[in-house]
A = this chain, B = another copy of it.
Amino acid sequence: MMTELEHYISSYFGVAQPGDLDAISQFFHRQTIKKGDYFLETGKASNRLSFIQSGMLRVYVQTEDKEVTQWISTKGYFVTDLAGFVFETPARWNIQALTDVELFTINRSDYIKLGHLIPKWHELEKLFITRCFIILEDRIFTHLSMTAEERYNFFFENNKELFNQVPLQYIASMLGMTPETFSRIRKKQLS
């Protein structure tokens, strides 16, 4: 019987060998973050990757004139600053807990060990990141081809549950519109 963590690893990386899953999950440890606290801050070292067992985190950055939410990560998904984690560069994003959060976390040094331990690891990683790449391609497409209202509807259809769990202003930002526009579209769609 798989643990929840093993289930996540399996669904993301699709590890094949029977013993591997168990070996991989040994490297993860449980971690909790209180609502409002930071998983990561811009400029700091991004040296861990986590799967979210419960709760939500917001990935955002502060510009001169506003805060831009890049993404909201929820149960079952992973969270890290990928650029910083892979290339050991300063983190590009702030990652803050929107609720109390429970994580399964692996730090970089252990993560690197997986590459030695699991023969196919780098290949699985490649497939994993390629899937992330495709998601971003699709997201760019929504900005090239859809209006704010269409982006709202598209996102709503696929993420209904988020709308009563996180401050709507963050969803608005993530969809590339102001909270006021978001609110007006929302009103229109509810009726």
The residues of B that contact A145 with a CB separation of less than 8 Å are 63, 66, 68
Q: Is A161 located at the chain interface by the 8 A CB criterion?
A: no
Q: A130-B129, A133-B129, A133-B136 are in contact. Are A141 and B83 (CB under 8 A)?
A: no
What's the tally of chain A residues with a CB closer than 8 Å to chain B? 34
Please give the count of copies of this chain that the complex contains.
2
The one of B61, B68, B140, B173 in contact with A139, judged by C-beta atoms closer than 8 angstroms, is B140
Q: Is A115 located at the chain interface by the 8 A CB criterion?
A: yes
Interface of A (DSSP majority class): helix
Q: A125-B126, A133-B136 are in contact. Are A141 and B82 (CB under 8 A)?
A: no
Question: What are 25 A-B interface contacts by the 8 Å CB criterion?
Answer: A66-B145, A68-B145, A70-B141, A82-B130, A82-B133, A82-B134, A82-B137, A83-B130, A83-B133, A83-B134, A86-B126, A86-B127, A86-B130, A87-B127, A92-B137, A115-B123, A122-B126, A126-B126, A126-B129, A133-B133, A133-B136, A136-B136, A140-B143, A143-B143, A144-B174
